[in-house]
A = this chain, B = another copy of it.
């Protein structure tokens, strides 16, 4: 909806639109991926959905998320829990006051605190209205892709993300492909959890490919479309 005029937006409301809120991030993703890759991926999926359905309204992305493990890695910018919850709530409430009743909140970043902050913002909004909100992380859907089922230990900045970025914006994957480990530090609440990501990412990206990325992106797109077509009452 960024390049719509006010009147075009008003006209579009007649289609009973589904607004997609893209919750991106600015976050360190290893030595090879750009800081905006958690924004780029859901934006790409949203564009694919928009090509297929005629009542999609893509709201401008929120370019910041809540980060815990990667908070201290170079380039990560993190909102606090209360801030993110409030932004999500306000975006939903403001669009709803404009006449939108169906929402897909799609986040490119997935982590416990981040997901709960969004979820709490959505719940607070839903409890006060009759609007319907669907909420998911595109990467969580991607884990179910057949091509990824036998891949062990893939995660943040790993095989799936690298492949998807190669497919979406080729030049953005730079230099050597890293292999990263997740080192558990048990149940301790850490001041700097980045020690659990010694390489700043998790997974084996040496096998990343455009083909794999395309497959995952397509899988997510198809699933999201099915959810949008069937999930709203």
Contacts and interface: CB of A to CB of B under 8 A. Distances in A.
Given A82-B86, A115-B112, A188 B231 contact: yes
Contacts of A5: 29-35, 75, 174-175
Given A87-B87, A98-B74, A189-B123, A34 B4 contact: yes
Of A28, A83, A172, A187, most buried by chain B (CB within 10 Å of CB) is A187
Given A5-B33, A9-B75, A189 B134 contact: yes
A31 B7 contact: yes
A90 B174 CA distance: 29
Interface stretch (A57-65, A146-154, A213-221): A57-65
Interface in A173-197: 174-175, 186-191
A118 B75 CA distance: 22
Interface residues of A, number: 81
Interface of A is mostly: mixed
A171 to B, nearest CB: 9
B75 A64 contact: no
B26 A6 contact: no
Interface stretch (A44-52, A125-133, A203-211): A125-133
A116 B112 contact: yes
Contacts of A135: 187, 189
A79 interface: yes
From A9, A39, A74, A232, name the one whose CB has the most chain B CB atoms within 10 angstroms.
A74
Nearest to A232: B188
Contact of A79 (B82, B87, B190): B87
B116 A98 contact: no
A91 interface: yes
B112 A94 contact: no
